[in-house]
């Protein structure tokens, strides 16, 4: 049995006690996301990260990428509504909110959110009742992991 399968089994064992966190947060200390979304959870892992997938009660599919050191380095979502971004972005929420406001003024109109800062990337697009989004902290991506791999 190779280590990947072992890790997968380990993740499955955690299923009754889902451990999910906000962006940048510690996976072992926060279980709030899944509880808040009252959704179902699926977990899979490979050598560089563990992927937690929550299907929220409002139909939003949330994915959280957790590094082997237990930190959430990326989150994505897709669904008819936005997820609770204050919960999902954690300590990065205020930075996101300010950047979103600043971009609106600079853009001279409405369109998708494309925040590209040194310490935070947030992208939100779509239209009413069909939104997609992703957020990650560039410095926290595991070695060999590319931002394009966040889906």
Partner 1 sequence: MKIARLQKFLCLSLAATLAAITGCSGAGSSTSTGGSSSGGGSTSSGSNVAAISVNTGPTAGPPLNSPYVDGAFTSVTLCAPGSTTNCQTIGGILVDTGSPGLRILSSALTISLPQQTASNGGPVVECLPFVDGITWGPVQTADMTIAGEQAKSLPIQVIGSSTFSNIPSSCTSLGSPEDDISDLGANGILGVGNLVQDCGPACTVSGPANPGLYYACPAAGCEVTVESLSNQVVNPIVLFPTDNNGVIIELPSVTGAETSISGSMIFGIGTQTNNGLGNATVYTIDPSSGNFTTVFDNVTYQDAAFLDTGSNAIYFLDSNTTGMPTCSDATFWYCPTTTQNFSATNQGTNGASGPITFSVANADTLLASETIGVANGLGGPDAGTFDWGLPFFFGRTVYTAIEGQNTPAGTGPYWAY
Residues lying near partner 1 in the complex (CB under 8 A) are found at 38, 57-59, 78, 80-82, 84-87, 93, 97, 100-101, 103-116, 123-134, 148
Shorter beta-carbon distance to partner 1: residue 48 or 123: 123
Smallest distance from partner 1 to CB 123, Å: 3
Contact in structure between 36 and 87 (CB atoms under 8 Å):
yes
Smallest distance from partner 1 to CB 47, Å: 25
Smallest distance from partner 1 to CB 29, Å: 20
Phi-psi category of residue 9: left, alpha or beta, with phi > 0 → left and psi -120 to 50 → alpha: alpha
Query: How far is it, in rounded angstroms, from Cα 12 to Cα 118?
Result: 35
Smallest distance from partner 1 to CB 30, Å: 16
Shorter beta-carbon distance to partner 1: residue 11 or 20: 20
User: Could you tell me which of 67, 20, 24 has the C-alpha nearest to residue 40?
Assistant: 20
Shorter beta-carbon distance to partner 1: residue 43 or 56: 56
Per DSSP, helices labelled H in the chain are: 3-13, 32-37, 85-89, 93-107
């Amino acid at each position: 049995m190779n280590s990947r399968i072992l890790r997968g089994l380990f993740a499955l064992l955690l299923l009754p006690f889902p451990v999910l966190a906000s962006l940048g947060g510690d996976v072992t200390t926060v279980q709030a996301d899944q509880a808040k979304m009252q959704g179902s959870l699926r977990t899979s892992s490979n050598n560089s990260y563990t992927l937690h997938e929550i299907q929220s009660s409002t139909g939003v599919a949330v994915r959280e990428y957790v590094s082997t050191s237990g930190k959430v380095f990326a989150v994505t979502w897709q669904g008819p509504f936005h997820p609770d971004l204050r919960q999902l972005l954690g300590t990065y929420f205020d930075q996101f909110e300010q950047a979103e406001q600043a971009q609106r003024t600079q853009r001279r109109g409405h369109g998708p959110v494309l925040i590209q800062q040194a310490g935070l990337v947030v992208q939100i697009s779509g239209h009413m009742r069909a939104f997609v989004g992703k957020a990650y902290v560039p410095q926290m991506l595991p070695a060999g992991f590319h931002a394009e791999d966040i889906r």
